[in-house]
Amino acid sequence: MGSTQAVAAPLPPGHIRVDQVGFAPAESKHAFMMTRAGASGARFSVVRDDGREVLKGSAGRDLGPWNGTYGHVYELDLTALKEPGRYRVRSGPMTSPAFQVSSAAPAAPASKILSFFRAQRDGGRRHHNDRAAAVYDWPEFTGPDTDQIKGKPRRIGGPVDVEGGWFDAGDYLKFTHILAYVDTLMYASIRDGGGTGGGGADGSDTRLRREATHGLKYLDKMWDGKSKTLYIQVGIGAGDEDATYVGDHDVWRLPEKDDTSKHPFLRHRPVFRAADPGKPISPNLAGRTAAAFALAAQVETSRTRATALLNQAAAIYAMAKTDKVGRLVTSLPYAFYPESAWRDDMELGGAELALAALRLGDGRADGWLRQAAHWAGQYLEHEAGGDTFNLYDVSALAHADLIKAIRQADAASPVTANPVMGADGLPALIAVDGPVSVSEGLPVTEQQLVDDLRAQLEIGVKRAAGDPFRAGAAYDEFDSVPHAFGLAATSRLYRTVSGDRAYDAFGTRQRGWAFGANAWGVSFVAGAGQNAIRCPHYQISNITGRPVVGAVVNGPNADSLFHDGLGNHLEGMRPCPSDGVDRYAPFTGHGSRFVDDVRSWQASEPADDFAAVALYALTLMSD
């Protein structure tokens, strides 16, 4: 009796990629068909869950090859599909994942992202020892691109209470630089989403407020108003070169284990400050931290509490070091978050202070508005043109809110003032005869700010024009997914201040790319979509086996980062995928690769700043 030899299943002729979350009825809608052979003019149809065919069409022009296997990508226009329902796209033997058409579809993942932040919460049973943490001097590292420390950290103070906040990413370090950005976007989501935070029927509005408040309580601990000290970090990434002690990244474990760990710097985590007490603070930190408190003041229902928040924001903003800035302070080591732009943070802080003051009828509003405008002008002169909305460049939000502040100030009443430069180099006010509108004396105009928002969008538009999947972010670099969501958010910020909907469809495409309309067919938000990431580089879910719903990962990255492989599994790390097979290897292309594997920190590690900009984009797009 002859043996039966297994025959490998033939490769499909191609794949249909679509936003697996879905679209609002009036939005533009597109999918992509990636094929091995040419398929120009191929017919496709859209089918409801009940099997009813509701739309037919033909593939558009060939957008070019993706890689050596898939030499053709075609766009499928689904915009005519407006009836609410659950659908799939079919063409020959190819069928897409399911997606929704619903007014709630674009906003639905926002609630999932809030679940991620809930899972990221520190405090309570986690790091109780942070309530009495020691303060350490900045460590010296063995090289510019390593977190390995020379010698042993030197204690210089404490104890201080730094319990709470959120873990930064898949690890358990905490950074003020990140948390201030995250809380700023949470409060912006509350304000700009009408309090809904991308929903409301499921209680997500209340959950968002609770989460934002949780972050603000931690920021309040990180700022010591009495000594004028800002603490910037809890924990160290690695130990020393002789392995006499370890850091956060050296041990794969649950956070609950740290308080009784045998490792001294896991059991009692070091705290670091931005500068000596009372000394000026790196302006990126001062600007974004002030912005978080000022945004909280804008949505706080208690006038007394809102005023206190405004005053706290003002105190932090006033500590900014804007002369001889040098290298910015973000984290230790700096290589973790190598930010270079800071004038956008100062613009943002000033704009949020002005908006909060205008809301409260505080006479300081005009001064902050002029400071924000000053820094906006400096940003346009020195920093514009290199980046789009993300952790390292918040100018999109800063521009939009500065425009709002200018319009509110002009609408409130003309002022009798003329700006001059004060002794500190910032705009001051002196009275003159006759009314002058606020906007007339500013160093930037609304149109310049609108133009820069458009210029940022054009960076993405030009990149998308040459990409088969119309991606506006560079996916062969770090942070492609948050950049995609940042572009989506910017498209709506631009529309809000300009009234121009020209970039709405572009923004929707960027959201769609992040949710599955990409070469890999993956939604980069865990639990959002039929084929979402399943094996994030995330200790809690990996150890417990519970999925980390709502986590937003980096996404594809440069193929060269994977040339040395993924390395071994750390002690305590559960292999995921369990069979070790890289199912996305066939879709490596355009110099980029995505790997859904717990070891793939390059592509599959979630982070708070990724989730925050996704949350804000989804909130803005839920109207």
In angstroms, rounded to a whole number, what is the distance separating the alpha carbons of residues 104 and 505? 18
The predicted structure's pLDDT at residue 433: 41
- Cα–Cα dist 353/365, whole Å: 7
**Chain centroid to CA 547:** 21
CB 269 within 8 A of CB 178: no
Instruction: State residue 417's pLDDT score.
Output: 43
Mean pLDDT, 10 residues at a time, the chain of 623 residues: 44 90 97 96 96 96 97 98 97 97 92 97 96 98 94 96 98 98 98 60 76 98 98 97 95 98 98 98 98 98 98 98 97 97 98 98 97 98 95 98 97 57 45 56 96 98 98 97 98 98 98 98 98 98 97 97 95 96 97 98 98 98 86
Half-sphere exposure of 98 (CA within 13 A, CB side): 12
3-class DSSP state of 492 = helix
Using an 8 Å Cβ cutoff, are 61 and 45 in contact? no
Q: Which amino acid makes up residue 581?
A: V
Quote the CA–CA distance of 399 and 383 in Å, as a whole number: 13
At residue 245, φ and ψ (nearest 5 deg) are -150, 165
Compute the distance between CA of residue 273 and CA of residue 218 in angstroms, rounded to an integer: 15
Cβ-contact 150, 259 below 8 angstroms: no
Query: 77 near 30, Cβ under 8 Å?
Result: yes
For residues 108 and 133, give the distance between their C-alpha atoms in angstroms, rounded to a whole number.
39
Residue 327: CB atoms within 10 Å: 10
445, 432 contact by CB (below 8 A): no
Instruction: State how far the Cα of 324 lies from the Cα of 316, in Å rounded to an integer.
Output: 19
Which pLDDT score, from 0 to 100, does residue 194 have? 60
- Tell which residue, 56, 34, 59, 49, has the closest CA to residue 99: 49
Q: Which two tokens stand for residue 521?
A: 């067919």
Count of Cβ atoms closer than 10 Å to residue 51 Cβ: 6
Q: How many CA atoms lie within 13 A of 595 on its CB side?
A: 24
Give the count of alpha carbons within 13 A of 88, CB side only. Answer: 16
Half-sphere exposure of 182 (CA within 13 A, CB side): 32
Determine the pLDDT at residue 205. 85
Secondary structure (DSSP) of 519-531? TT--BSBTTSSTT
For the whole prediction, is pTM greater than 0.75?
Answer: yes
Which residues are CB-contacts of 390 (< 8 A; sequence separation ≥ 6)?
479, 482, 483, 486, 609, 613
CA distance 332 to 198: 34
Smallest Cα–Cα separation from 401: which of 330, 321, 298, 302?
Answer: 298
Cα separation values, 362 from 306, 310, 365, 541, 588, Å? 11, 10, 6, 47, 55
Q: Give kind and range of the element (H or E) at residue 418.
A: strand 418-421
